[in-house]
Structure 1
Amino acid sequence: MKPWFLIWSRLPANGMAIFPFIIIKDVRMKTDPVLVNHERIHFRQQLELLILPFYLLYLLNYLVNLVRFKNHYLAYFNILFEKEAYAHEHDLVYLKKRKFFAWIKYV
């Protein structure tokens, strides 16, 4: 399934994947291959966890990290789903070779 793109200029980040959408701040970002790939990785993570469990694990991982690091940015960048997405966002063929539940190795 391919995500639908939405434009929301008030988005606090450049992009965000919320099934079934990839929300971006500016229409020009739709042509940024790294940003789109990063969000598509999240899209795949959401699908393999049947969507709702992804959000619960994402939030739980963020909260644990926030207690651990006492810093929003460190908490965010240490979310296991973000680690996978940032590690592979420049590999534009990553999703073709990605194994199911690849994010588990970032636990």
Structure 2
Amino acid sequence: MGARYQIIVVPFLKVTGMALYPFILVNKKELLNNAVVINHERIHLRQQAELLVLPFYILYLLNYLVNLAIYHQHNKAYLNIVFEREAYAKEQAMLYLKHRKWFAWASYF
């Protein structure tokens, strides 16, 4: 996937960053140079690309809803979404996407 993404600053965004294929949205200009945040979102872009985008969002939402039923807390439900588990686990590994296997997120179930 290379560097085929655009980073857009969205000041009213209620989260630090978000991957919305093929864009990365951040809520502050300072985050444009935050390698960890950008890498986290790049991992999500890869996940979205390999699932052909729309199925990613469907699986993301379903996983969140199942987690919400299990944990009864938004934060725990969010942090246990398999896509987030992979992104948080590997966000500091800047070369991760060069060596990442397809559907690596599946190992986080």
TM range (shorter): over 0.9
Moved over 6 A (4+): none
CA distance in 2, matches of 1:39, 1:74: 19
- 1:24-50 per-residue CA deviation (whole Å, 9 max, x = no partner) reads 001110100000000000000000000
CA distance in 1, matches of 2:107, 2:57: 18
Partner of 2:94, secondary structure, is coil
- Give the match for residue 44 of structure 1: 46
Partner of 1:11, secondary structure, is coil
Which stretch shows the higher mean deviation, 1-10 or 52-61? Answer: 1-10
Task: Please give the TM-score of this superposition, normalised by the length of structure 2.
Answer: 0.96
Q: How does 1:1-107 map to 2 (within 5 A)?
A: 1=1, 2-107=4-109
CA distance in 1, matches of 2:51, 2:7: 21
CA distance in 2, matches of 1:7, 1:55: 21
CA distance in 2, matches of 1:27, 1:5: 10
- Give RMSD over aligned pairs: 0.6
- 1:43 maps to a residue whose letter is L
CA distance in 2, matches of 1:54, 1:37: 18
- 1:44-80 per-residue CA deviation (whole Å, 9 max, x = no partner) reads 0000000000000000000000000000000000000
**Gapped runs of 5+ residues in structure 2?**
none
- 1:11 maps to a residue whose letter is L
Partner of 1:85, secondary structure, is helix
CA distance in 2, matches of 1:12, 1:76: 15
Q: How many residues align?
A: 107
**Gapped runs of 5+ residues in structure 1?**
none
